Amino acid sequence: MRKKALLACALLFCTSLFATEAGKTLTLENKNVEVVFDAESGALLRMTDKHSGWEIMKREVLGQSFELLLPMEGSEMTDADRRFNVVKGIKQANPAIEKAGNQVTFIWKGMKSEFMAQEVDITFRGVVSLTDKGLEFSGNVTNNSIYPIEYVSWPCIGEVTVPDKTQPLHHSTRNDQRELFPHFFNQHGYWGVDYPTSTYVLSEKSFLQVNDCERGFMVYNREMPKYMTITSFELIPGYEIRSVNPYEDEIDGEMVRIQFKANHVVYCEPGNVATLDPIQFVTYKGSSIEGVNIYRNDRVQLASVQKKNTPQWLASPLNWQKVSIDNGDDLLRYARESTKCGVNVLLVRGWYRGENGHVTQVPGLEDAIAKCQEQGMRIVLETNWTSVDRHAPGYRENFRKYMMVDPFNMPYNFNNLCPNAPAIRQWVKSEWLKLPALRAADGYMNNDHNHDSKTFMCFDRSHNHRFGEPTINGMMKLDAEMARALASSGDKVALGQDFIEHQQDIYDGCMVNVSDNFYAKNRYMNSVSPMLVCVETRNARRGINQALLNRMNIVYDLNFFSNNLADYPHIAEYGVSVKALRDRYAEAIWDATFDEHNGATVNGDNLQYSVFVAKNGKRAVVVANMSNDRASKVSAALNNNASLVYATPESPEQKAFGGTVELAPLSAVIIMEK
């Protein structure tokens, strides 16, 4: 009875401190989540999603608090050194605990591992706060030891239970998805792993989502983080059979679990303090879209807010083509040929050269751009501020020293300059901004692969930046500086490729490069900003349909045997018909809000569909048959039972919709409220 009374009292307050038979515990609780800590060790013992009843962390014996990676290395490696020296929070002396309102702070002073002869002077301050949605994990680490701290794991959750073993449990991001159960994807890291491990990098991937069909949780940063965070799942003790999780709770005398950690890669050197970027941990009930809504609505810099100074033409339905040139005459030839095929914008590569530490443009380009614009063709130049040719004259003397290196001083590659180096950002501005073509064109698209091509961080101390500085930090600075500088030349569009949400205040739009399963998620997260999708020769109609489904503009990217769109008449004709359909029904499917699948029911084989809500409240559904060779009978209904009409790229005139329509392979249909 006494325990029941204590529990009843706890439910009346957001936070409470109460006793159990196992000892003292500390509970943070609101209407969304309950989390229980050991009031002595600080270990997270239990976590429950109150929406669905999912006991995310259940077995108290598996409780964890934090981890540090503290490599024991001197200037010369000895037998006493150990690179993989993990300091586990539950092995430390009990922390001091401070409780104030809806926040608990744990303070661990002095750290030691099984490989260390004596304690070192490191203090970790971990903070857990209740928010109106869930939990926030923050804190800082003070390093007064002789060793660098590579990462801090916070939160560290000893198990993520599988809520329903009859269905799969996934973890995913805006453009990727993997199983956690019943199959576990093992992603070996270069640092080595003890158990099957799967990781994602935040904020490159925007968020981490864990879910089945009925519930889930989200992990993300509200603001642009200072440090890179690697989320990791470990399957302990490992597979039962190849790639398959054990179904038992215990195997070979060890408890089976999936352990979760958010690893803040701080590289905190001796004498420094690292303040962790706050991590949001929010649970929910429902389908995966409910979790995406939490992130979309909660992040600080909303992707749905379009820049006020974005040129209006970029927001129109347009067909683009990517071309490669050697001179201005090439550009004029492409403009003449592409106009006949319904192309409105040329995305131009090959227009600049790098040699002896300088960037130059190809001959005749500025005049050619002006002539193209007179003919109504927009010109956007593809750039890559920090990519250089290692074989070009002047490379060794000018750029070799600015290659990004790993913690062991080994270059990741020999082509990407370090954007965190102030000298490189200054070089980019001085070299690129002097090019007349960049100011004459209608805009640029920066092909920035530095921050996601395994060059996540740089450790070269000679570059004049923090040891282990994330690449994205320098790219954000550089992109912002270049966008501001070029804005002085008029209404120039600034575009990126697969950029993260925090770059929305820099770029006007982006080109996405994802699989079929993730176009809709990218658009749903950002319902307004202009997006482009590449249409390749072999999968052209599929790409065009994805553009139609997800309110994205087409970019023809050919290069099969010809760069001339006229050599692919079937591709060009379908692209023209889709643009004509968009122009004709812009109110329903372009100047409307993308609403994923909400408010419509669609059935049929090999179909993908999207719902749009017009400004007048009327809905339209776009349906595409993604089969290469089979027609599909489409049945569709909108939830309000309104009278419907339909149109296709091949037959754009409205027809009354009787509930079904036959859809040819790789074709599409728009079904609209009348």
Percent over 90 (pLDDT), the chain = 72
pTM: 0.90
Of 313, 347, 338, the C-alpha closest to 533 is 347
Can you tell me the mean pLDDT for 433-449? 91
Cα dihedral sign, 597-526-381-397: negative
Residue 41, φ and ψ in degrees, nearest 5: -85, -20
Q: What is the predicted pLDDT for the residue at 670? A: 98
Q: Does the pLDDT value for residue 350 go beyond 80?
A: yes
State yes or no: pLDDT of 17 exceeds 80: no
Both tokens of 175, joined, read 């453009």
Q: At residue 4, does pLDDT exceed 70?
A: no
Q: Is the pLDDT of residue 6 over 80?
A: no
Say what the pLDDT of residue 80 is: 67
The CA–CA distances, whole Å, from 254 to 47, 162, 180, 348, 668 equal: 21, 17, 19, 58, 53
**Residue 578 confidence (pLDDT) above 90:** yes
Q: Which of 2-11, 176-185, 611-620 has the lowest mean pLDDT?
A: 2-11
CA nearest neighbour of 387 among 367, 361, 413, 362: 413
Computed over every residue of the chain, the mean pLDDT equals 90
Segment 236-267, tens digit of pLDDT:
999 888 889 999 999 888 999 999 999 999 99
* pLDDT above 70 coverage of the chain, percent: 92
Contacting residues for 573 by C-beta, under 8 A, at least 6 apart: none
- pLDDT, position 488: 77
The C-alpha atoms of residue 644 and residue 646 are separated, in whole angstroms, by: 7
The predicted model gives 207-225 an average pLDDT of 94
Does 413 have pLDDT greater than 70? yes
> What is the C-alpha end-to-end distance of the chain, expressed in Å?
63
| Tokens representing residue 230 in the block | 């690697």
Is the peptide bond prior to 237 cis by the omega test (within 30 degrees of 0)? yes
Which run of H or of E encompasses 275?
A: strand 273-275
pLDDT at 19 over 50: no
CA distance 392 to 395: 6
For residues 242 and 188, the model is more confident at 242
Reported as a single tens digit per residue, the pLDDT across 263-272 is: 999 999 999 9
Residue written as token pair 């004509």: 580
What's the pLDDT score for residue 477?
92
